[in-house]
Chains A and B, each alone.
Chain A
Amino acid sequence: MATQASRAAARAMLSPAVVLLLIWMIVPLAMTLWFSFQRYNLLYPDRAGFIGFGNYINFVATSGFWEAIVNTLLLVGGVLAITVIGGILIALLIDQPIWGQGPVRILVISPFFIMPPVAALIWKNMFMNPSNGLFAEAARFLGLPPFDFLGQAPLASIVLIVAWQWLPFATLILLTALQSLDSERMEAAEMDGAGPFARFWFIALPHLARAITVVILIQTIFLLGIFGEILVTTNGGPGNASTTLTYLVYKEALLDFDAGTAAAGGVVAVILANIVALFLMRAIGRNLDA
């Protein structure tokens, strides 16, 4: 359907976005690459110069680098698992005929509107605090010793907080997909004697595959960059128990003010993010005939 003229027009319409994103990608990336080979600590402006791969070696040798990679994968994987499975269950539940579907939907999507630092502060102080938090109160009510969430299970606690923020997003997309499912097919299957579990497994789940892919893709992009929640709740600790790659870069950039090593860390993080993205594309990309 495309004529020569409309092709030219299409290119003209596409170019502002491409050019802007290209600049937004290339300028910081180029500067980051440049800094990653420089000795550049904000606190020592006079100590500067080319140091080859020194910053990279320094970053990779940081205690907890490998732990940070594992933590990053656990954080992303954990949140994805909770939000996808939880999202499917909640979507199935809300999709049932219930009284007050509208209000319930409003309740369910509300966490998505909460600013990340606010969410982290609320959870940390008012729920997970082992002296004054509501969880501690609940434990005391049950006669149990209060559990120190952020001290004993730091990464799991952060996964919980982040999953709470993203569960609504997953639920919404999955719910919309579920509602587009042809109800006649479901009914036909029911007539044929398929139980609810079989109906879900053989009809609903394949139908949701695309939606699940979208949820995983978008959330991964956002989750790889998470560090505000970690900063507010555990500062990456205790030890390195909740330090992710992004948080490690933060530590270099805004605690040590070592812009050189932070840049090297940024480059490493980009490479790893792209590896993850590649895997993702391989594994689930065929669901996404974008």
Chain B
Amino acid sequence: MARAVPPARKALTTALAWAVGLLLFFPILWTVLTSFKPEPVAVASPPVFLDFDWTLRNYQDVQRQRDYFDYFQNSVILSLGSTILALLIAIPAAWSMAFVPGRRTKDLLMWMLSTKMMPAVGVLVPIYLILKWLDDMITRRTGIDVGLDSHVALLVILTLINLPIVIWMLYTYFREIPGEILEAARMDGATLRDEILWILTPMALPGIASTFLLNVILAWNEAFWTINLTVTDAAPLSKFITGFSSPQGLFYAKLSAASTLAIAPILVLGWFSQRQLVRGLTFGAVK
């Protein structure tokens, strides 16, 4: 924007924008600060902001109780794995809907989104029974763990619950790509494979990157299936946090430390990649 803005007004809007930003961010900041406080300071009245004896004790206590790195590793496996799987399935589907649309493409898309409306709690018992059956049929016989508390089962479920959003996001992004380019390429004798590999993919890369990031965030933060279907082997950070939610006695500082550990990786990823994330996060809303 090239408009000249009076500095006074710019200062005012800047102050306002920063105030709003800090307000929204404050709960996170407060949690991180609390995680470094001794327990009694965490509930001190009046509250202490920065002037306390900073300590790492809460982190040590949390780590002693549960090995953070096991859970972290599972979170990484599940969120990255399910995202890659979802992209592998969604890219061809979105491509085909965007460039060879049929009469029912829009209905199909809406149907896909509607599969997300089944409340997960209502299907927990059926899914649990299926996984137990898989345990009995496959895991016990072959030693390949595909049932309860397995990476495979969680990967499949996380892939499926986010697939509709992934397809939709990619579809809207692909649609922005002008079809003329493809036709021109086809004139030059490009095959379908060339078309996808050398023309579409580079053009769609920002959209794919952004979809990838959004899905990693959603999968990382998923907290129903991961809590109810895992025990230890495949348990990610959402399960980690359930051990600290209300233990006996003062717990604010330890809870804050566990929370900080659970959110820090994705928060940092989000900060560093926010430009990429934002670029494709339009769902076709930008004309």
Contacts and interface: CB of A to CB of B under 8 A. Distances in A.
B30 A134 contact: yes
Interface string B246-287: 000000100110010011001101110010011001111111
A143 to B, nearest CB: 13
Given A121-B259, A210-B285, A218-B165, 5 more contacts: A113-B221, A117-B238, A140-B45, A173-B285, A270-B117
A126 B221 contact: no
Contacts, number: 298
6 contacts: A21-B112, A31-B130, A113-B270, A172-B277, A176-B282, A253-B125
B122 A17 contact: no
Given A168-B24, A273-B117, A13 B95 contact: yes
A5 B287 CA distance: 31
Contact of A172 (B14, B281, B284): B281
B77 interface: no
Which among A118, A217, A266 has the greatest number of chain B C-beta atoms within 10 A?
A118
A183 B90 CA distance: 35
Interface residues of A, number: 106
A54 to B, nearest CB: 17
B255 A121 contact: yes
Interface string B95-112: 111011000011011101
B89 interface: yes
Interface in A9-35: 9-11, 13-14, 16-18, 20-21, 24-25, 27-29, 31-32, 35
B110 A281 contact: yes
Contact of B25 (A110, A214, A253): A110
Interface string A90-122: 100110111111011111111111111111011
A33 to B, nearest CB: 10
A211 B278 CA distance: 14
Interface residues of B, number: 99
Given A1-B183, A109-B270, A214-B284, A253 B121 contact: yes
Contacts of A16: 89, 92-93
Which among A21, A265, A273 has the greatest number of chain B C-beta atoms within 10 A?
A21
B83 interface: no
A57 interface: no
A37 interface: no
Interface of B: 1-3, 5, 10, 13-14, 16-18, 20-22, 24-25, 27-28, 30-31, 34, 43, 45-47, 89-90, 92-93, 95-97, 99-100, 105-106, 108-110, 112-127, 129-130, 160, 163-165, 167-168, 171-172, 179, 182-183, 192, 217, 220-221, 223-224, 237-238, 241-242, 245, 252, 255-256, 259, 262-263, 266-267, 269-271, 274, 277-278, 281-287
Interface stretch (A197-205, A219-227, A235-243): A219-227
B221 A17 contact: no
A42 B28 CA distance: 40
Contact of A176 (B1, B113, B124, B281): B281
B45 A246 contact: no
Contacts of A121: 241, 245, 255, 259
Contact of B223 (A110, A116, A221, A274): A116
Contacts of B163: 17, 20-21
A131 B250 CA distance: 13
A59 to B, nearest CB: 11
A31 B123 contact: yes
A237 B17 CA distance: 36
A194 to B, nearest CB: 15
B54 to A, nearest CB: 18
Which among A101, A106, A117, A249 has the greatest number of chain B C-beta atoms within 10 A?
A117
A180 B270 CA distance: 23
Contact of A246 (B13, B30, B119, B263): B119
Contacts of A262: 121-122, 124-125
B284 A123 contact: no
Contact of A107 (B13, B24, B100): B24
A249 B122 contact: yes
Nearest to A6: B100
